[in-house]
Amino acid sequence: MTRRMTRREFAMLTGGAVLAPPAFAQTAAPLITRAIPSSGERLPAVGLGTAEVFDTADETTRHKAAAVLQALVGNGGSLIDTASTYGAAESVLGEVIAAAGLRDKLFIASKLEAPDAAELQRSLIRLKIAKLDLLQLHNVRSPQQSLAQFKVWKTQGMCRYFGITSTFHGDFAALEAVLTREKPDFVQIDYSLEDREAEKRILPLAGEVKAAVLTALPFGRGRLFRAVRGVTIPDWAQEFANSWAQFFLKYLLADPRVTAVIPGTADAAHMTDNLGAMRGPLPDPDQRRRMVAFIESL
């Protein structure tokens, strides 16, 4: 099975046994936020990824997007990450955000495939906004990649922050070179409990150059949910995780170098569950090691 398993499919396969008994009062716990190193601005630590989520511009998709965004904002979140190449996602989000009057409550990040002014304008038009909170160069592949135009756009007020992304380990060397030389405000990489390459290479460097870190694919393209199919959350983890999603997300958030995790979903209930990861205790170093050992044992 190579495609991404949805949490709905996971719940069906496990008879709905996704949640552990409540271990703490999430709504009463303080919200976990992280500072963006280049400014000190604080960002809620769980956001929304939109790859393969809002690809089609139909009424069903818009309805789901509206419910997810209301769940995001209603539970203390603000970060939405999208891209010019995510199908109709920018257009769907733009319509929903404008209709609900949510722009001032959101931190909107998008990505370009190249430093192309026309592509940037198309993104702004689709999103129905005048500027982005974060503008990222998508999937950096060349170590010589310049971010000069992104810096110009930031100076011109087209974006508040700029960054780079990669979800391909073969391009991590290029990402490291650009991160070191250009010192962007943000770097986005794939990082999950079962794929920890970024932990060794990108997180230490991001800390050195003071770049905020967004973690894409925090569920390992659904592989983590498949690994725990039919498995109950261990007793020792229930003090910090009320669901498997929170278990996976809190492993990442327990590293203070991670600014925010951005799991994708088109389900408002799953969005609410994900946001629970930014409330309550985080696992300590010993518990994180135990989490790794637990997943590797399955």
> For 51-66, how does the pLDDT look when each residue is reduced to its tens digit (9 = 90+)?
999 999 999 999 999 9
Read out DSSP for 267-285? -HHHHHHHHGGGBS----H
Residue 252 burial (CB < 10 Å; 0-12/13-18/19+)?
Answer: buried
The share of the chain scoring above pLDDT 90, in percent, equals 89
The predicted-structure confidence for 65-95, as pLDDT tens digits, reads as follows 999 999 999 999 999 999 999 999 999 999 9
The predicted-structure confidence for 236-273, as pLDDT tens digits, reads as follows 999 999 999 999 999 999 999 999 999 999 999 999 99
Taking 60 as the threshold, does the pLDDT of residue 201 lie above it?
Answer: yes
Q: Is residue 35 part of a domain?
A: no
DSSP state of 70: H
- For residues 280 and 269, what is the distance between their CA atoms, to the nearest angstrom? 19
Ramachandran assignment for 227, one of left (phi > 0), alpha (psi -120 to 50 degrees), beta (any other): alpha
Residue range(s) defining the domain that contains residue 235: 44-297
Q: Is residue 224 part of a domain?
A: yes
In 3D space, the residue among 196, 223, 167, 206 whose CA is nearest the CA of residue 288 turns out to be 196
User: The tokens of 48 are what?
Assistant: 């929304």
Q: How many CA atoms lie within 13 A of 218 on its CB side?
A: 29
Q: Is residue 3 part of a domain?
A: no
Q: Is residue 288 part of a domain?
A: yes
The set of residues, in sequence order, having a beta carbon less than 8 Å from that of 83 and lying 6+ positions away, is 50, 51, 89, 90, 110, 111, 112, 138
Where residue 76 sits, what CATH number does that domain have? Answer: 3.20.20.100
pLDDT given at position 17? 38
Q: Is residue 2 part of a domain?
A: no
In this prediction the pTM is 0.91
Q: Is residue 4 part of a domain?
A: no
Q: Is residue 240 part of a domain?
A: yes
| Structural domains in the chain (count) | 1
pLDDT given at position 16? 41
The predicted-structure confidence for 134-161, as pLDDT tens digits, reads as follows 999 999 999 999 999 999 999 999 999 9
Residue 288 burial (CB < 10 Å; 0-12/13-18/19+)?
Answer: middle
User: The tokens of 173 are what?
Assistant: 């060397």
Contact 193, 292 (CB under 8 A): yes
Taking 70 as the threshold, does the pLDDT of residue 7 lie above it?
Answer: no
Give just the sign of the alpha carbon dihedral 155, 141, 138, 125: positive
pLDDT given at position 172? 96
More confident residue, 25 or 74: 74
Q: Is residue 75 part of a domain?
A: yes
